Amino acid sequence: MKSALIIGGGFGGLVTGALLAREGFRVRVLEKNHNIGGGLQSFTRQGVYYETGMHILGGFSEGGSVRRIFEYLGIMDKLRIERCNMDCMDEVTYLATGDTYRLPQGREAFTEALYSYFPAERENINRYLQACYDLTEEVDIFYLRPTKSIFTVHGERFMQPADEFIADFIEDPRLRDLLAYMNPMYGGRPGHTPAYIHALINVLYISGQYHFRGRSQHMAELLVSVIYEHGGEVLTNQTVSKVNVVDRNIESVQTASGSVFHADYYISTINLKTLLPLLPEGALPRAYVSRLAEAPVTYSAFILYLAFKPESFPYLDHTGYIQDEYGLIWKHEEYDPDTWPRGIMYLTPPTENQGPWAVRMTINCIMSYDQVRRWEHTTVGRRGDDYEAWKHERAEHIIDKLERVFPDIRKCISSYTTASPLTIRDYYGSPEGALYGYSKDGLDPARTLISPVTKIHNLLLSGQCVNLHGICGVPLTAINTVECILGLNTIVDKINEYCKP
């Protein structure tokens, strides 16, 4: 029986561990936090629980890639998720004009809705959506299709900047802006973010959008159960402090508490900028280390969590987006304290026994790490009164903006709590609070193209810094990593065989 030690008990580490455990590996996962799950963690404030992430779930429709992975792991039937409104998965509002777009699930319904809002763009909409779906067809793992080679030749639009990709098909600047509304889901930057990232995210959610029904932590617990069921273990409060490498092989890892762990394979799912300082000098080629150390990360966010008074605010069975005006969707990272936030994303996560009234709301606003850099050397709970005052002011700005869509929302709020880029940095172990790992660049793809295989023979990489991010991308990346050990298409073939109709 081969053994695998996984550094990081976030979503990527748990899926990778569950897949390896099911394949007969003796798996041990080390997590620095008290709770496992990374972005799946939940927390409680004044009797109300919240999820640390937005958790808009894709890939769980019948035949969806993530659904099939979870079926293969034996936990899909235990997962508590709820499909969003079929007629309105997302509602996008522009404050300057009062325009509101209600966008349904399913390609046909989504297309018809765009026709109704922009009839003059009918043919352009068809061409644009077909191009998006064509781009996804170039990514075999997205559909859990066996691939013939790890070296894939892509079409000319694959790495085209997403904003230019949209503009090539669409003439109306309002529609160009609307089609990029999912930008906060992938850390989009104008002139850089590749079109394939835009296409994969949009097609994923158009195909079916879900929310957790209850705590997101439940998904992490189910993955842990798979690891334990197959003889593995998950250890919390285990911060890896040193990785011992001899002759391009890891011999052991050491934790801050002094424990030493050995394995045949070591898989790191933590941010690579966090991993590099744990390795001895010379363990990896200098050029490789420099590239990873200098590669840009995605932007961060300021998150506001609202708790509502009983039966005061209606439950919304869709995700909402609010934009100040057209033309700003690619500029949310630009910060002006008077106009921030230029756009927000919000949802009222369903509870276990969800009725007509919302218990809570999560609001995500893009923010660069520069806005909290002055407090970066402080720790949780000890950042000072000026930091608390700044967070309070930012929260009030957000509520002011929400009031323009929901005029009575302030009366409904019983309490709120906040998370800044520093919170994300500290709890996720993500440098500068980056939401999605490295920032993919279509103009310089090699800069952030990370292979699961490293120059250290028994060290592999997984997690959102490698390949794809998000609730769909991370499990698919985990398959890539595991197949680097077991062989190309090994897991994909088994999943497809297991999930045959």
Per-residue pLDDT of the chain (501 residues; tens, 9 = 90+): 799 999 999 999 999 999 999 999 999 999 999 989 888 888 888 888 888 877 899 999 999 999 999 999 999 999 999 999 999 999 999 999 999 999 999 999 999 999 999 999 999 999 999 999 999 999 999 999 999 876 677 889 999 999 999 999 999 999 999 999 999 888 899 999 999 999 999 999 999 999 999 899 999 999 999 999 999 999 999 999 999 999 999 999 999 999 999 999 999 999 898 999 999 999 999 998 998 888 888 999 999 999 999 999 999 999 999 999 999 999 998 888 888 999 999 999 999 999 999 999 999 999 999 999 999 999 988 999 999 999 999 999 999 999 999 999 999 999 999 999 999 998 888 889 999 988 888 888 877 788 999 999 999 999 988 888 888 899 999 999 999 999 999 999 999 999 987
- In whole angstroms, give the CA distance from residue 390 to residue 302: 12
Task: Sheet containing 260-261: give its strands across.
Answer: 240-246, 249-255, 260-261
Q: Which residues contact 386 (CB under 8 A, 6 or more apart)?
A: none
Angle CA(309)–CA(310)–CA(316) in degrees, nearest 5? 90
- Output phi, psi for 302, to 5 deg: -110, 125
- In whole angstroms, give the CA distance from residue 64 to residue 61: 5
Tokens read off for 10? 């976030």
- In whole angstroms, give the CA distance from residue 360 to residue 50: 8
Beta strands in 208-349 (DSSP E): 210-212, 233-235, 240-246, 249-255, 260-261, 265-268, 300-308, 319-323, 343-347
Q: Of 451, 439, 423, 476, whose CA–CA distance to 39 is shortest?
A: 423
pTM assigned to the model: 0.95
Neighbours of 355 (CB within 10 A): 10
- In whole angstroms, give the CA distance from residue 162 to residue 181: 12
Three-state SS at 91: strand
Q: Which residues contact 137 (CB under 8 A, 6 or more apart)?
A: 143
Neighbours of 192 (CB within 10 A): 16
Across the chain, which distance is largest between two alpha carbons, in Å?
67
Query: Using CA atoms in the order 109, 113, 116, 119, what is the torsion angle rounded to 10 degrees?
Result: -90
Three-state SS at 255: strand
CATH superfamily to which 3-77+213-295+437-498 belongs:
FAD/NAD(P)-binding domain (3.50.50.60)
- Quick one: how far is CA 423 from the chain centroid? 16
Neighbours of 346 (CB within 10 A): 23
Element (H, E) at 412: helix 409-412
- In whole angstroms, give the CA distance from residue 186 to residue 488: 27
